[in-house]
Amino acid sequence: MGLRAKLIIPYVLLTLVTAMVGMFIVTRLVTSSVRERFINQLYEAGRVAADGIVRRERAHLEILRIAVFSAGMVEAMEARDDEAVLAVLRPVAVNARPQAVIAIDTDGVEIIGLVYDAASDEYRVSRGATLAGEPIVDRVLRGETDASGDKFADVLTINAGSYLMASAPVETESGEVVGVILVGTQINSLVEGLKSEALADIILQGSDGSLQATTFSLSGEPPTAILVPGNETQELSGTHFREFSLWSRDYQGAYAPWLARGQVMGVLGVALPSNFLVTTESTSRDWFGIIFSVGTVAIIILGYRLAQSIAGPILRLRSMAQTVAQGRLDQTSGLRRDDEIGELAEAFDAMTARLQARTAEAQSLYAEAVERNRQLAEMYERLRAAQQQLVQSEKLAAVGQLAAGIVHDVKNPLGVIKGMAEEMLESTANGSAQADSLQTIRDNATRANSIVTDLLVFARQSTPTMQERDLRETVEGALRLTGFLTRKGKVEVQRNLPARPTMAVFDPQQIQQVLINLIQNAVQAMPDGGKLHVGLASADDHLVMTVRDTGVGIPAEHLPRIFDPFFTTKSEGQGTGMGLSVSYGIMTRHHGQIEVESQVGAGSTFIVRLPKTPPDSGIEDSGEKVTLPDRDVPGSGLG
């Protein structure tokens, strides 16, 4: 991306983003204010509707009190005299104007009922309807009371329709219930009155979620759109808002519990059209979009001209820098300005001149530094290798000198001890304490003799007899000699040897000894059996032998010491710690290397590198092949 693009594109994007964000924020501020007023209006409509229901409930209770305590009501109800009851209730109905007043006897049968007919503006009289089983009647007849008293409210369906009823008992002076008075208002009339008070459409749902009444004229539309799901009506608390569409018109509804006499009778909902919110938001967005678009275009044009005045000179300096980078240091910018870009051009011209003078000097110094670094790296590697070899050689030499001085003086007394122990053992009864002691003396003398023998082998440091031989054959010989050991240890041997002879100059007996030591260590490192991989490969001027096991592995803290004489991690009786030291000495005399890689729990890999032709080999090929006796070879070293 060019400089012009980098200057213009972010500027344009930032301007567009700022314009869109600003338009969004301003639009949301306008519409949020309208929406907040709308929500407040819904809250107010819901409050007015709830207050209207409470007022109607209080009116019912007041009419009930008048009817129950009217003179002659108790006697008429007790006698079940319909004419007498009608004579008491008619004045109450005419004065209080309830839409329904019903008197019921103790059997739940209507004594007299007055239901207002709006068409004729008169009360129709009914008799004999059975209302037994209705909770609002039965609870009074059973003499129940609750936190609000002995009066109850519920929706009751009679021949004239559904009514919001309130019931009260008619009692004698002794407290005996002789009947029930019901006073109610038709549900449809109730919601129409609430709509005129709340200035919003009203929705009444029963406790089972069914629609009781609404001011919406559904006209075949399914009522489910305006209803709270039935499984939510009992769990509804507080005010719940829902959006719905009816006749392709959007509404916002506020739903709250419908309470009567402290009991939840269902859900009371108020709804207002919400189309004007979308219209207001769309209109605001359009106007602000036009304003922000005009401002954005003007800012982009101004920014483009400013970017051009900055990018032009900088691109010219870039072209000059590219020419200088190609080696042409006789360049000048040619820019003459009185601002920061002009100062940059002057500094660039001065820098180019100085760069031309110093380039030659820097090149010569660089070449000299590279050569010295290379020489130092080579010297460091040689020094590190020599230091490591010197440390190990000093260890081996010190142990060799010590062993050479004491081995013969120790070996003979050990032989005498072992012989006398065996002679005494022959004349001692088997199983006696003395026989066990003599057996222990003989076994420990044998072990001490083995340690001294290993010291003797290590101390002699014999010069290898260098011959050109097939190393593959030497490896196979070592595997044959250790065959019994691997089978006894339940070790599966995997060979990876070349198909053709692999010739090199080495001492076959000593290299075979190295391999036998490594194989024995590997087997001992797998006490429960495992896999042993023995490989041979050719790499440039040397051969690589690998002995890899799946044993217990060597801890990282022991790896630096595994080639030290007498260092071992084996249990007592399994080794003297000399095997790897002897092997290291043999490989040193062959100008080779022996390395180890190990991970605890995963196994160890010993890598033996043998030069194909050592620098001072003095090749001697006698034509004879030297092999070791086919027997188990006692091992020493680490495992």
The confidence band for 398, taking pLDDT boundaries of 50, 70 and 90, is low
Same domain, 633 and 485: yes
**Residue 616, pLDDT score:** 65
Mean of pLDDT values over 516-530: 90
Is the C-alpha dihedral spanning 210, 216, 219, 224 positive or negative? negative
Q: What is the mean pLDDT of residues 289-316?
A: 72
Closest alpha carbon to 459 in 503, 409, 534: 409
Residue 630: its pLDDT value, please? 35
Q: Do residue 122 and residue 53 come from a single domain?
A: no
pLDDT band at 326 (very low <50, low <70, confident <90, very high): confident
What pLDDT is stored for residue 374 in this prediction?
A: 87
In a domain, residue 196? The reply is no
Of the listed ranges 173-177, 396-400, 615-619, 622-626, the least confidently predicted one is 622-626
Task: Report CA-CA distances (Å) from 87 to 112, 144, 174, 438, 471.
Answer: 10, 29, 24, 136, 134
Using the predicted structure, report yes or no on whether residue 634 has a pLDDT greater than 70.
no
Domain that includes residue 514, residue range: 464-639
Q: What is the pLDDT of residue 282?
A: 61
pLDDT of amino acid 401: 58
- What pLDDT is stored for residue 411 in this prediction? 64
* Distance separating alpha carbons of residues 448 and 441, to the nearest angstrom: 10
Cα torsion at 347, 348, 353, 357 (round to 10°)?
100
Residue 195 lies in a domain: no
Among 124-138, 172-186, 565-579, name the one with the lowest average pLDDT: 565-579
Residue 365 has pLDDT above 80, yes or no: yes
Residue 120 has pLDDT above 60, yes or no: yes
Q: Are residues 373 and 240 in the same domain?
A: no
User: What is the mean pLDDT of the segment spanning 18-39?
Assistant: 70
The top-scoring range by mean pLDDT among 153-157, 401-405, 578-582 is 153-157
Is 296 in contact with 15 (CB distance < 8 Å)? Answer: yes
Q: Which amino acid is at 445?
A: A
pLDDT of residue 454: 61
- In this structure, what CATH number is given to the domain that contains residue 219? 3.30.450
* pLDDT value of residue 424: 81
Give the pLDDT confidence score for residue 363 in this predicted structure.
77
Res 618 pLDDT > 60: no
293 and 238 co-located in one domain: no
Q: Is 277 helix (H, G, I), strand (E, B) or coil?
A: helix
Residues 100 and 23 occupy one common structural domain: no
Task: Average the pLDDT over 487-504 and give the result.
Answer: 91
Q: What pLDDT does residue 391 have?
A: 64
Are 226 and 363 contained in the same domain? Answer: no
Domain count, the chain: 5
Domain of residue 85, CATH code? 3.30.450.20
Residue 418 binned pLDDT confidence (cut-offs 50, 70, 90): confident
What are the pLDDT digits (tens) for 35-61? 778 888 888 888 998 899 899 999 999
Segment 378-407 mean pLDDT: 65
Residue 465's pLDDT is 81
Of 145, 139, 149, 137, nearest in space to 113 by CA = 137
Q: What secondary structure does DSSP assign to 515-576, as a single string? A: HHHHHHHHHHT-TT-EEEEEEEEEETTEEEEEEEE-SS---GGGGGGTTSTT---SPTTS--
Domain assignment present for residue 96? The answer is yes
Q: What is the CATH number of the domain that holds 433?
A: 1.10.287.130
Asked which of 412, 442, 461 is the last residue of a domain, the reply is: 461
Q: What is the DSSP string of 105-174?
A: -TTSBEEEEEEEETTTTEEEEE---B-TT-HHHHHHHTT--BTTBS-EEEEEEETTEEEEEEEEEEE-TT
User: What is the reported pLDDT for 625?
Assistant: 35
Does residue 457 sit in the same domain as residue 483? no
- More confidently predicted of 76 and 423: 76
Is 177 in contact with 140 (CB distance < 8 Å)? yes
Residue 197 lies in a domain: no
- Phi/psi of residue 204, nearest 5 degrees: -115, 125
Find the mean pLDDT for residues 528-556.
91
Whether residue 181 has pLDDT greater than 90: yes
| Contact yes or no for 214/201 (Cβ under 8 A) | yes
Task: DSSP letter for 380, please.
Answer: H
Q: Which of 554-558, 611-615, 616-620 has the lowest mean pLDDT?
A: 616-620
Task: Tell me, yes or no, whether 510 and 622 share the same domain.
Answer: yes
pLDDT of 113 > 90? The answer is: yes
Closest CA to 490 of 450, 531, 431, 440: 531
CA–CA dist 578, 532 (Å, integer):
22
Is 564 within a domain?
Answer: yes
Contact 139, 151 (CB under 8 A): no
pLDDT recorded at residue 239:
82
Do 282 and 160 sit in the same domain of this protein?
A: no
Residue 194 lies in a domain: no
- Compute the C-alpha angle 502/503/504, nearest 5°: 125
Last residue of a domain, one of 270, 290, 305: 270
Name the average pLDDT for the chain: 80
- Between the alpha carbon of residue 330 and those of residues 277, 333, 352, 353, the distances in Å are 71, 10, 8, 7
The domain that holds 589 is classified in CATH as 3.30.565.10
Q: What does the block give as tokens for 456?
A: 């003797």
Instruction: Flag whether pLDDT at 262 surpasses 70.
Output: yes
Looking at the structure, do residues 232 and 317 belong to the same domain, yes or no? no
pLDDT at 636 over 80: no
pLDDT at 535 over 90: yes
Residue 549 has pLDDT above 70, yes or no: yes
Instruction: Indicate whether 120 belongs to any domain.
Output: yes
**Predicted local distance difference test score (pLDDT) of residue 63:** 93
Q: Is residue 243 part of a domain?
A: yes
Least confident of 14-18, 175-179, 333-337: 333-337
Residue at a domain's end among 189, 213, 247: 189
Contact (CB, 8 A) for 497 and 475: yes
Same domain, 633 and 508: yes
CB 170 within 8 A of CB 111: no
Are 485 and 625 in the same domain?
yes
